[in-house]
Amino acid sequence: MQISTSVPTPIYGVPRITKVPAPPSDSPASGSGPATSVTLSSKAQSAYGVRSFGVVWAPGMFDAADTDKSNGLNISEFATELGRVGVDADEAKKLFDSFDKSKDGTVSMDEFVDGVIADNATNTNSSFQSLALSYMSDDTTMKSFMTNESPTIDQYWNKVRAEG
C-alpha cells in the first residue's frame, strides 16, 4: 500500500495511519540513513486516530500527576489531577478503578494511557480532553507543561512506535 507524502504532520511522532513514510531526505526530521516506513501498533493507531490532546498528552498528564515519581498513580494523585477540571472524588474513584486493570491500587502509565484512549472513544465530553486543555489555559501553564512533559510524551510514543 502506497501512502502519499502529503500525510498530515503527526503530533509527537504518532501518525493517524498505520503505515507512514519516512520524512523526505531534506527534512530536518529525517536524520541520516535510508528512508523507511513504520508500522504502528494498534495502541498508537487508536491513540492518534482520535487526534485528541487528551490522548496524545496522556503520558505527560500522567507524569505531571505522579507527584511522588513512583511511576504509578495512587487514588490521591489521580483524583487531584482530575480535580483540575472539576471531577469529584466519587467519579475519580470510579475512573481510577476502571483504569487499574491490574487491581494493585496503582495506575501505571500504560494503564493510564489505555484508560484515556478508552474514555475518549466512548465519551464525547472526556474529562481527559478537558484536562489536557487545562494545560493550555494560559501561556505560562502551557509553557511549563510543554517544557516539563514533552520529553515524557515523546519518549512514550516513540516506545509505542518501536514496539509496533
pLDDT by residue (tens digit) across 56-82? 899 999 999 999 999 999 999 999 999
Please name the residues in contact with 115: beta carbons below 8 A apart, sequence gap of 6 or more: 95, 98, 99, 107
pLDDT level of residue 51 (50, 70, 90 thresholds): low
Q: Do residues 124 and 54 lie in contact, with contact meaning Cβ atoms separated by under 8 Å?
A: no
Please name the residues in contact with 80: beta carbons below 8 A apart, sequence gap of 6 or more: 65, 67
Homologous superfamily, domain 53-156: EF-hand (1.10.238.10)
Share of the chain above pLDDT 90, in %: 48
Angstrom CA distances, 150 to 32, 54, 142, 157, stand at: 23, 14, 11, 11
Nearest CA-CA partner of 54 in 97, 87, 90:
87
pTM of the predicted structure, to 2 decimals: 0.70
pLDDT level of residue 42 (50, 70, 90 thresholds): low
d(CA 92, CA 127): 10
